[in-house]
Amino acid sequence: MSRGVPAVEEEDGEPEGPEQSVSAPAMQEGPERELSHEEFDPKGTLALILMYFTILVVMWVFMYFIEFLGNDLVVVG
């Protein structure tokens, strides 16, 4: 039996730490440590979102100036 689904019952019915997903492979490692709200600082998330935002703005500007203004008007009036 895989580790996601323990073959034996836990003594007190309390699983140790967060349980694993049923859809994860058996040898997948579980969490190593607990991070509380205070200890956790999502700086990676911030970086990713800022990157996404920059891409959005650049692409929008590109579309607007190259594709839209660069073409003849399609709809008039």
State how far the Cα of 16 lies from the Cα of 22, in Å rounded to an integer: 16
- Interface residues for another protein in 31-70 (CB under 8 A)? 31-37, 40, 42-45, 47-49, 52, 55-56, 59-60, 63-64, 67-68
Residue pair 37/20 in contact by the 8 Å Cβ criterion: no
The H or E element containing residue 66 is: none
CB of 9 to another protein, least distance (A): 5
Interacting residues of 10 by C-beta distance below 8 A, sequence separation 6+ = 16
Residue 16 lies near another protein (rule: CB under 8 A): no
Site of interaction with another protein (CB under 8 A): 5-6, 9-10, 13-15, 18-19, 21-25, 28-37, 40, 42-45, 47-49, 52, 55-56, 59-60, 63-64, 67-68, 71, 73-75
